Chain A
Amino acid sequence: MKVLVPVKRVLDYNVKPRVKADGTGVDLANVKMSMNPFDEIAVEEAIRLKDKGVTEIVVVSIGEQKSQETLRTALAMGADRAILIVSEEKVEPLGVAKLLKAIVDEEKPDLVILGKQAIDDDNNQTGQMLAGLLGVGQATFASKVDLTATNVTVTREVDGGSETEELSLPAVITVDLRLNEPRYASLPNIMKAKSKPMANKTPADYGVDVTPRLTTLKVVEPPKRSGGVKVADVDELVAKLKAMGVAK
């Protein structure tokens, strides 16, 4: 059984993003980049499924040339081979979903596992779009995955609790935070990953038009909160709460 895991190179989650003064975007020059945290969870889950019949894990990333570092990380974690689709222009989720569909048509994986959202654009779209384009079942926000030869049962995190769905394969899953704890790549595995195969492609190789549909007119900082005050003790806090009408 083959699994495809798309991964994205994003601003590291610990870095506080800085908005560029000219309002064109967030400053990504000379800042730490890493694999989108949800994608790490997706890669980890694919690896864990290896004792459930998964024989090959293909990772794919779409973005600038440096995204190969992200793919090497995934290979070092345990993925078998990688596909890099180089596009120096930003590709929107719809374009990504179309490229992924082209790869799925070629590779015929039984399962595609994605992160539920990328922490840069916070869109939460790609997996659902891919499932729609493929006409297959989708299970988003997965917190538990049970795989058999013909179907997959997924517990999903929803507002207010959880839901369980069963999909027949092939299917698309997007993963939530609590699905697993991703492993760290060991040094020997990082070395080994350097010799694993990585195909270099472009959107044109797949005949996919990735022209953006959305134009970003400007990017600004959110309104700043005015500085607050510290109270000395509980009595003062209670008095303030009462003054605000929160407590009687």
Chain B
Amino acid sequence: MKTLVWVEHDGKTVKDATLAVVTAAAQLGEVHLLVAGQGVDAVAAEAAKIAGVGKVHVADDAAFAHALAENVAPLVVELMGHHDAFLAPATTHGKNIAPRVAALLDVMQISDILSVESEDTFTRPIYAGNAIATVQSKDAKKVITVRGTAFEKAATEGGSGAIEKVASTGGANADGGLSVFKGQEIAKSERPELTSAKIIVSGGRALGSSEQFHALIDPLADKLGAGVGASRAAVDAGYAPNDYQVGQTGKIVAPEVYVAVGISGAIQHLAGMKDSKTIIAINKDEDAPIFQVADLGLVGDLFKILPELTEKL
């Protein structure tokens, strides 16, 4: 099987999520990458070095600068003439593009896979991760999004993929004109990115305010070199920005250590973090559901515990 992996990048470097997709793709067969963007020579060179990569297709055009699904999907469909499977990370951009590709190819997409059982059989979570389904695809071509935390990341060195320009994407055709990118607001953070952080400290509604969230969670995270996450309640209450949200509708994380502070542990939150290696819960309610999944629990007032913990670490 020949697979085509959509490389997520920021115009400068390959995003980590792509590396896990390469590992999944390698389990299906020969791995080819697609780097689409504007001025992406550096990204393509980096992508070519990823271990196990056979070929890197490069589509360099202003139309691909912001990964708009309307422009990227037809490009992928064209390349799928020579590939049997298309894989993308189950990130917001991957989820935006892949189903459009699937519809244009008239195939069902398999979302957020956890494992590759065979060329046509995969496992994926349903019902907020409360059930794992094994699904078999009857489609001739497979379109798949991959859960980044479920696969090891491919090595960023050791590969020698051949870089090849995609011939037919130049000119006015690439931009279908269906949508126009107007701008972005990217939250600036010195901390590790949530989905690839080894340690995450996450705060819930019990923090009480944005000020207390940052005054208590941030120093502990800094001490541990951790990423900062939040429950939906904390985000809804405005204590933390939207993209901090961990859960079924936010980010899915699986760090080495997940510290849940003042988070009760609703189904929807657990969906985003219960594959963490070690879960530590700090909560004043000893019956909170979070303690059912926590490896280490401490019952008590977070306003006393957190400063003491930060101090003693």
Contacts and interface: CB of A to CB of B under 8 A. Distances in A.
**Binding partners A and B:** yes
Interface of A: 11, 13, 16-17, 19, 25-26, 38, 92-94, 97, 116-117, 119-133, 135-141, 143, 153, 156-168, 171, 176-178, 212-222, 225, 227-231, 233-235, 237-238, 240-241, 244, 246-247
Q: Give the size category of B's interface with A.
A: 35 or more
A94 B141 CA distance: 14
Contacts of A11: 127
B133 A17 contact: no
A192 B232 CA distance: 34
A139 B292 CA distance: 38
B184 A164 contact: yes
Given A214-B137, A240-B296, A230 B249 contact: no
Contacts of A16: 130, 267
Give 9 nearest A-B pairs by CB, closest first: A128-B99, A132-B103, A129-B103, A137-B178, A125-B99, A213-B108, A228-B295, A132-B100, A161-B186
A177 B242 CA distance: 10
Given A125-B109, A213-B108, A137 B179 contact: yes
B195 interface: yes
26 contacts: A25-B131, A26-B130, A119-B127, A122-B126, A123-B111, A125-B111, A131-B69, A132-B101, A132-B102, A132-B104, A138-B96, A157-B243, A161-B184, A163-B183, A164-B184, A217-B135, A218-B133, A219-B131, A222-B132, A227-B292, A228-B296, A228-B297, A230-B298, A231-B297, A237-B280, A246-B199
A178 B298 contact: no
B207 to A, nearest CB: 18
Interface string B218-236: 0000011000000010011
Interface of B: 66, 68-70, 73, 91-93, 95-104, 106-112, 121, 125-139, 178-187, 193, 195, 199, 223-224, 232, 235-236, 241-243, 248-249, 251, 256-257, 267-268, 274, 278-280, 286, 291-300, 305, 308-309, 312-313
A125 B92 contact: no
B248 A178 contact: no
B179 A165 contact: yes
A221 B132 contact: yes
B195 A159 contact: yes
Given A16-B267, A159-B195, A164-B184, A140 B95 contact: yes
A178 B236 contact: yes
Contacts of A124: 95, 99, 111-112
Contacts of B185: 161-163
A228 B131 contact: no
A133 B103 contact: yes
B130 A222 contact: yes
Contacts of A230: 286, 291, 296-299
Contacts of A216: 133-135
Nearest to B245: A177
A138 B139 CA distance: 25
Contact of A222 (B99, B129, B292): B129
A244 B73 CA distance: 45
Contacts of A166: 179-180, 182
Given A238-B313, A240-B296, A247-B224, 8 more contacts: A97-B103, A161-B243, A164-B184, A168-B178, A222-B132, A222-B274, A225-B293, A237-B280
A138 to B, nearest CB: 6
Nearest to A234: B308
A97 B241 CA distance: 32
Contacts of A235: 312
A235 B311 CA distance: 11
